[in-house]
Amino acid sequence: MPSVQKESIVDEIKERLTRAGGIIMADYRGLSVKEMQELRTRVRDSGAELKIYKNRLTMIALRELAMPDLDEYLTGPTALVFVTEDPVAPAKALQDYAKAHQALEIKGGLVQSQVVGSAAMKSIASLPSREELVAKVMGMMLSPIRGFKGMANAPASAFARTVQAVADQKAAA
Protein backbone atom coordinates (compact mmCIF):
# COMPACT_ATOMS: atom_id res chain seq x y z
CA MET A 1 0.00 0.00 0.00
CA PRO A 2 1.53 3.34 -1.04
CA SER A 3 2.16 5.94 1.59
CA VAL A 4 0.58 9.37 1.56
CA GLN A 5 4.00 10.95 1.06
CA LYS A 6 4.73 8.82 -2.01
CA GLU A 7 1.29 9.58 -3.45
CA SER A 8 1.92 13.31 -3.04
CA ILE A 9 5.30 12.96 -4.78
CA VAL A 10 3.66 11.06 -7.67
CA ASP A 11 1.05 13.84 -7.90
CA GLU A 12 3.85 16.44 -7.96
CA ILE A 13 5.64 14.57 -10.75
CA LYS A 14 2.40 14.27 -12.73
CA GLU A 15 1.74 18.00 -12.34
CA ARG A 16 5.26 18.84 -13.56
CA LEU A 17 4.94 16.43 -16.49
CA THR A 18 1.64 17.94 -17.62
CA ARG A 19 3.08 21.48 -17.45
CA ALA A 20 6.33 20.54 -19.18
CA GLY A 21 6.72 20.48 -22.94
CA GLY A 22 9.31 17.77 -22.49
CA ILE A 23 11.83 16.22 -20.15
CA ILE A 24 15.50 15.46 -20.46
CA MET A 25 17.04 12.70 -18.36
CA ALA A 26 20.67 12.65 -17.30
CA ASP A 27 22.85 10.42 -15.16
CA TYR A 28 24.51 12.61 -12.55
CA ARG A 29 26.50 9.88 -10.81
CA GLY A 30 29.91 11.24 -9.81
CA LEU A 31 29.00 14.92 -9.54
CA SER A 32 29.70 16.66 -6.23
CA VAL A 33 27.07 18.69 -4.40
CA LYS A 34 28.70 21.92 -5.56
CA GLU A 35 28.71 20.72 -9.19
CA MET A 36 25.02 19.74 -8.89
CA GLN A 37 24.19 23.21 -7.58
CA GLU A 38 26.03 24.76 -10.51
CA LEU A 39 24.19 22.45 -12.92
CA ARG A 40 20.82 23.38 -11.38
CA THR A 41 21.66 27.06 -11.81
CA ARG A 42 22.64 26.62 -15.46
CA VAL A 43 19.48 24.63 -16.19
CA ARG A 44 17.33 27.22 -14.40
CA ASP A 45 19.00 30.02 -16.41
CA SER A 46 18.11 28.15 -19.61
CA GLY A 47 14.41 28.18 -18.74
CA ALA A 48 14.01 24.68 -17.29
CA GLU A 49 14.00 23.03 -13.90
CA LEU A 50 16.13 20.13 -12.68
CA LYS A 51 14.57 17.74 -10.16
CA ILE A 52 15.55 14.37 -8.79
CA TYR A 53 12.84 11.84 -7.99
CA LYS A 54 12.88 8.14 -7.34
CA ASN A 55 12.79 6.31 -10.67
CA ARG A 56 9.94 4.06 -9.54
CA LEU A 57 7.72 7.04 -8.63
CA THR A 58 8.50 8.66 -11.98
CA MET A 59 7.52 5.45 -13.79
CA ILE A 60 4.21 5.35 -11.88
CA ALA A 61 3.48 8.99 -12.77
CA LEU A 62 4.24 8.36 -16.45
CA ARG A 63 1.93 5.33 -16.52
CA GLU A 64 -0.89 7.18 -14.75
CA LEU A 65 -0.67 9.95 -17.36
CA ALA A 66 -0.56 7.37 -20.19
CA MET A 67 2.72 8.86 -21.42
CA PRO A 68 5.32 6.87 -23.36
CA ASP A 69 7.35 4.28 -21.48
CA LEU A 70 10.75 5.62 -20.38
CA ASP A 71 11.78 2.68 -18.18
CA GLU A 72 14.99 2.06 -20.16
CA TYR A 73 16.20 5.59 -19.28
CA LEU A 74 15.07 5.46 -15.66
CA THR A 75 17.87 3.28 -14.33
CA GLY A 76 20.48 4.42 -11.85
CA PRO A 77 20.63 7.98 -10.55
CA THR A 78 18.51 10.06 -12.91
CA ALA A 79 18.09 13.82 -12.92
CA LEU A 80 14.94 15.03 -14.67
CA VAL A 81 15.04 18.36 -16.47
CA PHE A 82 11.50 19.64 -16.98
CA VAL A 83 11.45 21.81 -20.11
CA THR A 84 8.60 24.31 -20.30
CA GLU A 85 9.13 25.92 -23.70
CA ASP A 86 12.08 25.52 -26.02
CA PRO A 87 13.98 22.24 -25.46
CA VAL A 88 17.09 23.53 -27.25
CA ALA A 89 18.39 25.87 -24.52
CA PRO A 90 18.23 23.33 -21.65
CA ALA A 91 19.69 20.62 -23.90
CA LYS A 92 22.56 22.97 -24.77
CA ALA A 93 23.10 23.80 -21.10
CA LEU A 94 23.29 20.10 -20.22
CA GLN A 95 25.52 19.31 -23.19
CA ASP A 96 27.93 22.15 -22.36
CA TYR A 97 28.05 21.07 -18.73
CA ALA A 98 28.63 17.45 -19.76
CA LYS A 99 31.61 18.54 -21.87
CA ALA A 100 33.18 20.21 -18.83
CA HIS A 101 32.19 17.45 -16.38
CA GLN A 102 32.63 13.96 -17.78
CA ALA A 103 30.52 12.47 -14.96
CA LEU A 104 27.28 13.92 -16.38
CA GLU A 105 25.72 11.80 -19.12
CA ILE A 106 22.57 12.67 -21.04
CA LYS A 107 20.43 9.54 -21.25
CA GLY A 108 17.53 10.69 -23.40
CA GLY A 109 14.18 12.31 -22.96
CA LEU A 110 10.68 13.07 -24.04
CA VAL A 111 10.14 15.95 -26.48
CA GLN A 112 6.62 16.70 -27.69
CA SER A 113 5.42 13.24 -26.60
CA GLN A 114 8.21 11.52 -28.56
CA VAL A 115 10.84 9.41 -26.84
CA VAL A 116 14.32 10.45 -27.95
CA GLY A 117 17.65 8.85 -27.14
CA SER A 118 20.98 10.28 -26.17
CA ALA A 119 22.11 10.90 -29.76
CA ALA A 120 18.88 12.74 -30.60
CA MET A 121 19.25 14.92 -27.49
CA LYS A 122 22.77 15.82 -28.58
CA SER A 123 21.37 16.75 -32.01
CA ILE A 124 18.74 18.93 -30.37
CA ALA A 125 21.49 20.62 -28.35
CA SER A 126 23.33 21.48 -31.57
CA LEU A 127 20.31 23.30 -33.03
CA PRO A 128 20.20 27.09 -32.93
CA SER A 129 18.01 28.58 -30.20
CA ARG A 130 14.54 29.94 -30.92
CA GLU A 131 15.83 33.51 -30.79
CA GLU A 132 18.59 32.72 -33.30
CA LEU A 133 16.07 31.11 -35.67
CA VAL A 134 13.73 34.11 -35.44
CA ALA A 135 16.64 36.44 -36.20
CA LYS A 136 17.63 34.35 -39.25
CA VAL A 137 14.05 34.33 -40.56
CA MET A 138 13.77 38.09 -40.09
CA GLY A 139 17.09 38.56 -41.92
CA MET A 140 15.85 36.42 -44.81
CA MET A 141 12.59 38.39 -44.92
CA LEU A 142 14.46 41.71 -44.99
CA SER A 143 16.95 40.58 -47.63
CA PRO A 144 14.63 41.13 -50.65
CA ILE A 145 13.64 44.53 -49.29
CA ARG A 146 17.29 45.56 -49.02
CA GLY A 147 17.90 44.30 -52.55
CA PHE A 148 14.92 46.24 -53.89
CA LYS A 149 16.08 49.37 -52.08
CA GLY A 150 19.54 49.03 -53.64
CA MET A 151 18.02 48.39 -57.07
CA ALA A 152 15.68 51.39 -56.73
CA ASN A 153 18.56 53.66 -55.70
CA ALA A 154 20.90 52.42 -58.45
CA PRO A 155 19.67 54.71 -61.28
CA ALA A 156 19.75 57.79 -59.07
CA SER A 157 23.22 57.01 -57.75
CA ALA A 158 24.48 56.22 -61.29
CA PHE A 159 23.10 59.57 -62.48
CA ALA A 160 24.75 61.36 -59.53
CA ARG A 161 28.10 59.68 -60.30
CA THR A 162 27.79 60.69 -63.98
CA VAL A 163 27.04 64.29 -63.06
CA GLN A 164 29.96 64.30 -60.63
CA ALA A 165 32.30 62.87 -63.33
CA VAL A 166 31.21 65.57 -65.81
CA ALA A 167 31.74 68.24 -63.13
CA ASP A 168 35.19 66.84 -62.35
CA GLN A 169 36.11 66.85 -66.08
CA LYS A 170 34.99 70.50 -66.49
CA ALA A 171 36.89 71.51 -63.34
CA ALA A 172 40.05 69.79 -64.64
CA ALA A 173 39.75 71.40 -68.07
Looking at residues 70-86, what average pLDDT do you find?
85
CA angle 96–74–37, rounded 5-degree value: 40
| Residue 147: predicted pLDDT | 65
Residues 85 and 159 in one domain: no
CB 25 within 8 A of CB 121: no
| Residue 34: predicted pLDDT | 92
Residues 107 and 164 in one domain: no
* 96: number of Cβ within 10 Å: 13
Q: What is the domain extent for residue 132?
A: 128-173
Residue 108 or 118, more confident: 108
Q: Tell me: pLDDT of 1 over 50.
A: no
Residues 77 and 133 in one domain: no
Cα–Cα distance for residue pair 103/77, rounded to 1 Å: 12
5-31 confidence digits (pLDDT tens): 889 998 998 898 888 888 889 888 888
